[in-house]
Amino acid sequence: MSNTVSSTNIPNTITITTQEDNVINIPQTTTNVVQVISQGPQGPSGLGVDLGTSPTNIYLTPIKVVCQKNNNVNLSESAYTSSGMFELNWTGSSGNMTMYLPDATNSNNTYRSIRFITNGSYETNTRTYLTPSGSQTLDGSTGFYEINKAYEGIMVWSDGIEWFRIQTKA
């Protein structure tokens, strides 16, 4: 038997039935998060349940990156390691710059997604090259992805080995 979560006849309550047929009734609020660990014949097993019922707003707060000709930005630097969104703002004359993706094999980047958006400062002669680190790949290529439009967006994701482009807006 496996852990199950079900509704109950008790208003605003979640019922969890464990592998050992233990029944746990938990009042449902907007802030409950519960993890149940039980001991079974195969050792401990767990079931995590988020009991929130109200929709939660998710806010994406970008790190603003100043982009300019001949600039290099390494997203493995500590200033960038905890962000999931970057707003790119081009300043100065037209040209190219390189933004290096963090090491996909670093455990902090496994299953990490990163979003990049440009504001109105970009044009066809201002280019940011989104580039994988070393011999790593982005969509199977060691080459770069070119960002060169105003209000462009891209999201990449790491599986712990390489980066994938999972969404592009242009």
> For 24-65, how does the pLDDT look when each residue is reduced to its tens digit (9 = 90+)?
666 655 455 555 555 555 555 555 555 555 556 778 889 999
Taking alpha carbons only, the member of 31, 3, 39, 37 closest to residue 19 is 3
Min mean pLDDT across 10-24, 65-79, 93-107 is at 10-24
pLDDT at 150 over 60: yes
Q: Is residue 58 part of a domain?
A: no
Taking the alpha carbons at both ends of the chain, their separation in whole angstroms is 49
Average pLDDT over residues 148-152: 95
Taking alpha carbons only, the member of 103, 153, 165 closest to residue 132 is 103
Min mean pLDDT across 47-51, 94-98, 124-128 is at 47-51
Residues 165 and 127 in one domain: yes
Q: Is residue 14 part of a domain?
A: yes
Residues 111 and 146 in one domain: yes
Residues 75 and 41 in one domain: no
pLDDT at 9 over 90: no
pLDDT the model gives residue 1: 42
pLDDT the model gives residue 22: 67
Q: How many domains does the chain have?
A: 2
Q: Is residue 76 part of a domain?
A: yes
> What's the token pair of residue 154?
């891209």
Residues 30 and 69 in one domain: no
Residues 13 and 90 in one domain: no
pLDDT the model gives residue 14: 62
Residues 83 and 32 in one domain: no
Provide the domain limits for residue 116: 63-169
pLDDT at 7 over 50: no
H runs (alpha helix) in 39-80:
none
